Amino acid sequence: MTTTTGYTADEMMTVAAAHALTSEMACFVGIGLPSTAANLACRTHAPGLWMIYESGTLGTRPGTLPLSIGDGVLAETADTVVSVPEVFNYWLQPGRIDVGFLGAAQIDRYANINTTVIGDYSDPKVRLPGAGGAPEIAASCREVVVVVRQSTRAFVDRVDFVTSMGHGRGAGDRESLGLPGAGPTRVITDLGVLKPDPQTRELTLAQLHPGVTAEDARAATGWDLAVSPDLATTPEPTAEELAVLRSLSGRE
């Protein structure tokens, strides 16, 4: 759906997510929305972005968006290709990656992520793919950016299963578990941007995309969403960003 402003809510989200990345970063990229946003960043304001996919492709620059995490195009354009134990043990675990870029099926007020089951684990309503690389990405990247469409189905008061640890039940939880990374610092949605409150670590609405109201965001959230007193508006995507994004998606 294209709005009167000439871009869709998904496009706004993807551009906003791309803006979380800079040229200096090493980024552990998940497939789907995160991959689209990272590839957009690479082709616009962050040409030096060092993209890593968990298939072991380090510093990859695919000419087209990969359909899956281990597409041949990722290997062919990578600085190097390493084994799966190496990507997790040598690159992720010691803290060499600045930002982990993750999606979610469910996320809660403390940015804990569920990609395992909806419902009870032993008798699930919906069985999802599971953890993959996400638990350790969430543990060991210096920070985590989550990209997910905002709805009451996805934004739940408490996730059914903690696949990847966000901020647990609040301030101090990550530290007490010895998790080296800062955890989710931003959740970027099709409506705006949520950030953990510096004191409580509860996700707070920090930014709205143009044309979206705080009420829209609250209505799409399964808990009583706090709104920052300094609520900002996201800059609109530029024509160049939209053109690059559409050329990427068009080839999917």
Partner 1 sequence: MIVPLDEGVRELVGDGDTVALEGFTHLIPVAAGHEIIRQQRRDLTLVRMTPDIVYDQLIGAGCAARLVFSWGGNPGVGSLHRFRDAIQHGWPRPLEIEEHSHAGMANRYVAGASGLPFAVLRGYAGTDLVGQTETIKTVECPFTGERLAAVPALNPDVAIVHAQRADRSGNVQLWGITGIQKEAVLAAKRSLVTVEEVVDELEPVPGQVVLPSRVLSAVAVAPGGSRPSYAHGYYARDNSAYQDWDAVSRERETFARWLEDEVGAPAQLPGKAG
Residues within the interface to partner 1 (CB under 8 A) = 31, 54-57, 66-72, 74-75, 81, 83-85, 88-89, 92-93, 116, 121, 124-136, 139-140, 161-165, 168, 173-174, 177-180
Q: Is the dihedral of CA 144, 107, 210, 8 positive or negative?
A: positive
Q: How far is the CB of 106 from partner 1 (least distance, A)?
A: 12
Other Cβ atoms within 10 Å of 94 Cβ, number: 10
DSSP 90: I
Q: What is the distance between the alpha carbons of residues 108 and 161, in angstroms, rounded to a whole number?
A: 10
Assess whether 54 carries a catalytic annotation.
yes
Catalytic member of 11, 54, 136, 241: 54
Q: How far is the CB of 236 from partner 1 (least distance, A)?
A: 30
Give the residue with the Cβ less far from partner 1, 135 or 222: 135
Q: How far is the CB of 28 from partner 1 (least distance, A)?
A: 11
Q: What is the distance between the alpha carbons of residues 8 and 78, in angstroms, rounded to a whole number?
A: 31
Q: If you search the block for the tokens 């689209």, which residue do you land on?
A: 36
Give the residue with the Cβ less far from partner 1, 73 or 227: 73
Q: What is the distance between the alpha carbons of residues 51 and 252, in angstroms, rounded to a whole number?
A: 19
Q: How far is the CB of 27 from partner 1 (least distance, A)?
A: 17
* 232-235 long-range Cβ contacts below 8 angstroms, 24+ apart: 232/206, 232/207, 232/208, 233/207, 233/208, 233/209, 234/12, 234/16, 234/192, 234/193, 234/207, 234/208, 234/209, 234/210
Give the residue with the Cβ less far from partner 1, 31 or 191: 31
Cβ burial, residue 185 (10 Å; 0-12/13-18/19+)? middle
Q: How far is the CB of 85 from partner 1 (least distance, A)?
A: 4
Give the residue with the Cβ less far from partner 1, 5 or 83: 83
Give the residue with the Cβ less far from partner 1, 7 or 53: 53
- Catalytic residue numbers, as ranges: 54
